[in-house]
Amino acid sequence: MNELASFLTATQRCVNQCKTMLEFEQEKRQALLADDMDRLESMIQSQQAAIMKLESLEKQRLEAQEKAGYNQMTADEILKVMAEGPEKEELAQQVGELRKTLEEIRYHNDKAMEITRANLQIMNTLATGQEQKKQPQGVYRPGQGAGSGRHSGSAGGQRQGGSGAQWQSSSSFEKKI
């Protein structure tokens, strides 16, 4: 298998793994809506394993990308310099699928966070008998930095996962798309 074919295969494996992760994100949201904590915990564990697998696949993809002569290039940069042909069409299709899948993952994760926040607010209200004042999100407050109240959607920054845990996006794949 030549270097370009290896790169395309590695990229497709990453796309497939992201699609698997989307399924987990959808299932996690359903578990939240059903208030099924056992199912939610299982989904979070599955997501953690899927993230580890994606990181491994991403490392392989980056190695294949370097061997194919596209070191340190974004997907758009690679597509600009690739010769016309079926390989370019295949990569363009993969990149489009990946972008769509990542956007869907973000959407479902954001909705899961909204559900979690609402559930926590309800629990707090029940526990204290007082309703919490809702703070505006995405507003600059001295000492917090701009946009600290909400994830801005930029790749590579810190995000809160659906479980409420902080995670640092380490995948250069999302950064390079």
Which domains, ranges and CATH numbers included, belong to the chain?
3-128 (1.20.58.300)
What single-letter amino acid sits at 114?
E
State both tokens at 53.
């697998």
CA dist., res. 97 & res. 13, Å (int): 12
Rounded to two decimals, the pTM is: 0.68
CA dist., res. 19 & res. 94, Å (int): 12
Q: What is the mean pLDDT of residues 10-30?
A: 95
Q: What angle in degrees, to the nearest 10, is found between the helix axes of 3-33 and 86-128?
A: 20
Burial of 135: CB neighbours in 10 Å, binned 0-12, 13-18, 19+: exposed
Is residue 155 scored above 70 in pLDDT? no
Question: To 10 degrees, the CA torsion angle through 108, 111, 116, 117?
Answer: 150
Contact in structure between 14 and 101 (CB atoms under 8 Å): no
* Model pLDDT for residues 56-113, shown as the tens digit of each residue: 999 999 999 999 999 999 999 999 999 999 999 999 999 999 999 999 999 999 999 9
Is residue 45 scored above 70 in pLDDT? yes
Model pLDDT, residue 110 = 92
Strand pairing partners for 167? 159
3-state SS of 65-125 is HHHCCCCCCCHHHHHHHCCCCHHHHHHHHHHHHHHHHHHHHHHHHHHHHHHHHHHHHHHHH
The size of the chain, in residues, is 177
What single-letter amino acid sits at 175?
K
Model pLDDT, residue 146 = 45
CA dist., res. 75 & res. 109, Å (int): 24
